[in-house]
A = this chain, B = another copy of it.
Amino acid sequence: MFDPVCPSDLTPIRFGDKWAGMIIRCLEDGPRRFSELRIPLRGVTAKVLTGSLRALERDGLIRRTVCAGPERRVDYELTPLGRSLLEPMAAACEWAEQHWDELLDAREASSLDRTG
């Protein structure tokens, strides 16, 4: 799923911490539960995801809602500010896609310098 965003951390552009960019994209289409977020973000532990979510909340990019009811359930959704971030993110993705090959070539060339 996150191939188009940052295939191998190759692009020099990053949004927040390691998971912030992916979290924002996960929330793009509407609110998601804590456990829903853990599915696409394969490998993220609860603690780290909590940390990222708290940071995003502190910056006013997402809103955390504890839903009433018998079952414990917490929803996260983008605030208008968070949603506005999608624009520069799209610009960053476009740049990454356009210059993907050049980035790869540069890495290859510099690794060849070291070996030969």
Instruction: Tell me if A103 counts as interface (CB < 8 A to partner B).
Output: yes
Q: Which of B13, B57, B81, B92 contacts A99 (CB 8 A)?
A: B81
Contacts of A91 in B (CB 8 A): 87-88, 91-92
Q: Which of B57, B81, B107 contacts A102 (CB 8 A)?
A: B81
Instruction: Tell me if A85 counts as interface (CB < 8 A to partner B).
Output: yes
Q: How many residues of A contact B (CB 8 A)?
A: 29
Task: Say how many copies of this protein the assembly contains.
Answer: 2
Instruction: Tell me if A41 counts as interface (CB < 8 A to partner B).
Output: no
For the complex, what is the distance from the CA of A47 to the CA of B59, rounded to whole Å? 32
Chain B proximity mask over A15-28: 1 for CB below 8 Å, otherwise 0: 11000100000000
Known: A84-B99, A91-B87. A106 touches B12 (CB 8 A): no
Whether the Cβ atoms of A60 and B106 lie closer than 8 Å is yes
The distance from the CB of A82 to the nearest CB of chain B, in whole angstroms, is 10
For the complex, what is the distance from the CA of A106 to the CA of B57, rounded to whole Å? 8
